[in-house]
Structure 1
Amino acid sequence: MTSSPTATPNNFAGPTSPGHDPNPGTEELRAAIDRSFEDTLARLKELVAIPGIAWPSFDRSPLDRSAEAVAELLRGAGLHDVRVLGCDKSDGTLGGPAVVARRPAAEGKPTILLYAHHDVQPAGDEDLWDTEPFTAVEKDGRLYGRGAADDKAGIMAHIAAFTVVSEVLGDGLGLGVTFFFEGEEEAGSPTFRPFLEAHRELLRADVIVVADSSNWKVGIPALTTSLRGLVDGTIEVQVLEHAVHSGMFGGPVLDAPTLLSRLIATLHDDDGNVAIQGLVAFDNATVEFPEADYRSDASVLDGVRLAGSGSIASRLWTKPALSIIGFDAPAVDVASNTLLPRARAKFSLRLAPGQVPEEAMEAVRKHVEAHAPFGAKVTFTPGESGNPFKTDTSSAAAALMMWALGEAWGVQAVETGIGGSIPFIADLTELYPDVQILVTGVEDPDSRAHSANESLHLGDFRKAILAEALLLSRLNGGL
């Protein structure tokens, strides 16, 4: 359902300024976006061409080039206070370059912080791509390329929305705006917390928009109201001091990959529910997610039975989900007839809102040690962890964002959870306990973030810019 601009709460009225409408209408902002959209798209394509990957095993120079390109875009948008900042990791190496730009608030006006990240995932197997990963290609209303959706489109949505509101409001814009574009999100944000602590006042805001999520589907916008937390780590099984000939010694002892596989099989019950004791789980999602839609969105093969119990939405958003995301064993092409002495797997466990990550990590440790197969030596090594998140949907900013999304798309916005995790949001809520955090995004179920053929739906991208422009123009009147 579309609502008119006058349907927004009265306390979002803007200031009066000669020659500028303090509350510009949707069509005025839409027209300004349309005039500049081709330029916005061209800038996005330029960003996609920079393979800025924050993983330690990759060359850092493209990442630095990506930060400088983003900083230049902010200067071009009229920002004067633009900085490229970094923070050391725990091992003494430099973290990813973050770009911070500020427009101070006028007296009595709130400040909004607009977050996205400019680093991207590696391309992976390029043979799986239909186009060159770091060459943006338009096809059938979508823009293909690594980072086209996750998350360089988030950067351009922020910059384009600010540019349009600045143009339309002119001197009437008193809202404080801070841009924070991280440079290591895809590497796990290793310096995010110390960066926040070092620049706490620089980044302080009343409202934070994190543009790194997804909409419900093409044509239907969403405000992400919950995120699962995350813990990961490695499980190693050892059965021999060293490798031995499988013909000479095979039979009385099982090899390490076989025993590790048996251990992994204990992590789920026969229905596919996570079988680790002590994990939080809820079957209370209020949005219906048809099984057929899930199968299509996730590209599930015909005949594959879905795992778990309860509603699809709850299995995605409010229940734990455990995956094995890495397995150390020789590749098939170089395998020999050998009993392997050890094998190692990396697990990734998504946590329901309300779960304490430390308790979940301990639950996994207890489980794998209690289920050591055939007395094998099991070594559990904890990895990264991140807290789940739940939005206060009663906040003024959340209500305004829901209105802006509905106005921009012309349909009622949906409140959804996301099965993924954005662990640094917990740091934001801890350091800024009074801030209102809104998690939005430009992706859709077919964006294929982190996968081959990542893409952005250009029609929804345009609407996302409009929604954020509406948010900024209304917040200009205060909270």
Structure 2
Amino acid sequence: MSRQEAVARAATYFDRGDFRTDLARRVAMPTESQTGQSLDTLRAYLTDEIIPTVGKLGFASRVVDNPAPGHGPFLIAERHEADGLPTVLLYGHGDVVFGQDAGWREGLKPWALVEEGDRWYGRGTADNKGQHSINLAALEQVLAVRGGRLGFNCKLLIEMGEEAGSPGLREMARQERAALQADVLIGSDGPRLSAVRPTVFLGSRGAFNFELEVNLRAGGHHSGNWGGALSNAGTLLAHAIASLVDAKGRILVDGLKPKEIPASVRAALDGISLEQGMGDPDIDPDWGEPGLTPAEKVYAWNTLEVLAFVTGAPDKPANAVPPSAKATLQLRFVVGTDPETVIPLVEAHLAARGLGMVKARPARSATFEATRLDPSDPWVDWALASIARTTGKTPALLPNLGGSLPNDVFALILGMPTVWVPHSYPACSQHAPNEHLLASVAREALQLMAGLFYDLGEEGGAVLQARAA
């Protein structure tokens, strides 16, 4: 039996409708994690759907309760073939965002898989049920071709709270460190660079949200009687924000910017362009850090975004000097930026400019650390070569995802190299109504993952030796 047969079996699994059947069954489970009211459904996705599936593949599974009360559990599964073999940890999440039933267009609904040409609609098709379903099915094809063996040990982590910010994941990882330890993480989440180009990314930008607030006095005062004599909270906050980020989106606080883009990261992004699909916004070429390409701005630099700003009563403005104003900002950052320094840096910056009345504090949202595997790591060359061998395409290599995901759990807490192979595309409408997976991408992804797992059984030991050297 051969590698070609594993890839061919993956295509056949798709063509005869088995993948669609498996995915439709999983999409039908309304595993919303943000409501706080679906704990039974979140657990059932693991016990009734995933555990039987991986049990047929030789995995021993257990459900781990979430250390954070009121949030979905975790599944840890393991298939151990022999000591001395490479061990891979696979990751995915079975929870989804709100169904948003009323927002889907006619003929579509979140909890049913609907085919329209190349698009397969349904909540979770792209994020993340379709993606981890592809990886589990690819494992099955390799097992069949290699006579019931993979050639490596395999662990699996499925969480049921990623869309709620992964509460409890980090504490659980520390508690289950031994059970989750592996030589490499292979995960699938987020989009490819484009629908037609397989992609590998090696981490993610971090995210830190913080609030700026001005509280000057109790209540507003008539702008005719008092305007010009009373300081305006909205004006002060606007100037505070403008001192942090300019009218071109350029960060003005040195400590909030990277010191440089590493040569290996710049080389990886050489020739990478942000793909523009139908419905995507036009790129503003003059926005952001000057001298960088759009890809470098998104994947290799920090950005400071104003997410919300309110003062007075915007919907019903009154002739009054507003006494207070509040804004929420977000720093997306790459490796080298410490989120713990953000508030002290902002406070010192504002105080130095006479804006000490503007107070900064962390927002209540989760903070994601920035992570990035060195693009020169042997696991990277191995993954790129395997994907190219299967697809005949040169995959895109992104040093990190522009967005954020809990890769810090694997890279920092568990201390392993991380390789992400996404199976969605930028216009998939994840987190919005009409979420969909492209059938053409899913079919290709099944094949490239079958090839990747086959190659892991053949070449994983050599990759470990190369890393050791």
The answer, yes or no, to whether TM exceeds 0.5 is: yes
Letter in 1 for 2:46: A
Aligned to 1:4: none
Aligned to 1:358: 340
Q: Residue 189 of structure 1 is aligned with which of 158, 166, 171?
A: 166
CA distance in 2, matches of 1:333, 1:49: 40
- In structure 2, relative to structure 1, the CA distance for the partners of 1:85 and 1:243 (3 Å cut) is farther
Deviation at 1:27, TM superposition (A): 4.4
* 1:132 and 2:114 correspond: no
Tell me if the contact between 1:277 and 1:363 (Cα under 8 Å) persists in the aligned partners.
no
Letter in 1 for 2:12: D
Aligned to 1:35: 13
- In structure 2, relative to structure 1, the CA distance for the partners of 1:311 and 1:304 (3 Å cut) is closer
Please provide the CA RMSD for this pair. 3.2
Aligned to 1:120: 96
Aligned to 2:422: 441
Taking only the aligned residue pairs, the percentage that are identical comes to: 25
Task: Summarize deviations over 1:61-101 as a string: whole Å, max 9, x none.
Answer: 44334333443453464345222212322xxx244211222
CA distance in 2, matches of 1:331, 1:408: 58
Letter in 1 for 2:301: K
- In structure 2, relative to structure 1, the CA distance for the partners of 1:245 and 1:420 (3 Å cut) is same
Tell me if the contact between 2:33 and 2:42 (Cα under 8 Å) persists in the aligned partners.
yes
Q: Residue 258 of structure 2 is aligned with which of 270, 280, 298?
A: 280
Deviation at 1:198, TM superposition (A): 1.3
Tell me if the contact between 1:398 and 1:438 (Cα under 8 Å) persists in the aligned partners.
yes
Aligned length, in residue pairs: 451
Letter in 1 for 2:152: L
> Equivalent residues in 2 for 1:234-273 (5 A)?
234-243=211-220, 252-253=229-230, 256-273=233-250
Aligned to 1:467: 448
Tell me if the contact between 2:81 and 2:149 (Cα under 8 Å) persists in the aligned partners.
no
Letter in 1 for 2:388: G
- In structure 2, relative to structure 1, the CA distance for the partners of 1:100 and 1:406 (3 Å cut) is same
Letter in 1 for 2:53: L
Q: Residue 347 of structure 1 is aligned with which of 329, 353, 374?
A: 329
Aligned to 1:429: 411
Match of 2:146, SS state, is helix
Deviation at 1:43, TM superposition (A): 2.0
CA distance in 2, matches of 1:200, 1:280: 31
Tell me if the contact between 1:405 and 1:464 (Cα under 8 Å) persists in the aligned partners.
no
Match of 1:269, SS state, is coil
Tell me if the contact between 2:372 and 2:400 (Cα under 8 Å) persists in the aligned partners.
no
Bigger shift: 61-70 or 317-326?
Answer: 61-70
Tell me if the contact between 1:237 and 1:344 (Cα under 8 Å) persists in the aligned partners.
yes
Tell me if the contact between 1:47 and 1:69 (Cα under 8 Å) persists in the aligned partners.
no
Tell me if the contact between 2:113 and 2:121 (Cα under 8 Å) persists in the aligned partners.
yes
* 1:212 and 2:189 correspond: yes
Task: Summarize deviations over 1:359-414 as a string: whole Å, max 9, x none.
Answer: 344323433555575x6442423554332222234444322211221123221112
Task: Give the gaps of 5 or more residues in structure 1.
Answer: 1-20
Aligned to 1:66: 45
Match of 2:155, SS state, is strand
Q: Residue 102 of structure 1 is aligned with which of 75, 78, 83?
A: 78
- In structure 2, relative to structure 1, the CA distance for the partners of 1:31 and 1:88 (3 Å cut) is closer
Task: Summarize deviations over 1:17-41 as a string: whole Å, max 9, x none.
Answer: xxxx3xx222443234423552222
- In structure 2, relative to structure 1, the CA distance for the partners of 1:303 and 1:229 (3 Å cut) is closer
TM-score by length of 1: 0.82
* 1:87 and 2:87 correspond: no
Letter in 2 for 1:53: E
Match of 1:386, SS state, is coil
Tell me if the contact between 1:228 and 1:387 (Cα under 8 Å) persists in the aligned partners.
yes
Aligned to 1:316: 298
Letter in 1 for 2:8: R
Aligned to 2:133: 156
Bigger shift: 259-268 or 160-169?
Answer: 259-268
CA distance in 1, matches of 2:369, 2:181: 21
Task: Give the gaps of 5 or more residues in structure 2.
Answer: 462-469
Deviation at 1:50, TM superposition (A): 2.9
CA distance in 2, matches of 1:72, 1:120: 19
Deviation at 1:262, TM superposition (A): 3.7
Aligned to 1:15: none
CA distance in 1, matches of 2:33, 2:119: 26
TM-score by length of 2: 0.84
Tell me if the contact between 2:126 and 2:435 (Cα under 8 Å) persists in the aligned partners.
yes
Tell me if the contact between 2:184 and 2:418 (Cα under 8 Å) persists in the aligned partners.
yes
Bigger shift: 98-107 or 424-433?
Answer: 424-433
Aligned to 2:437: 456
Letter in 2 for 1:106: A
CA distance in 2, matches of 1:427, 1:109: 23
Tell me if the contact between 1:149 and 1:449 (Cα under 8 Å) persists in the aligned partners.
yes
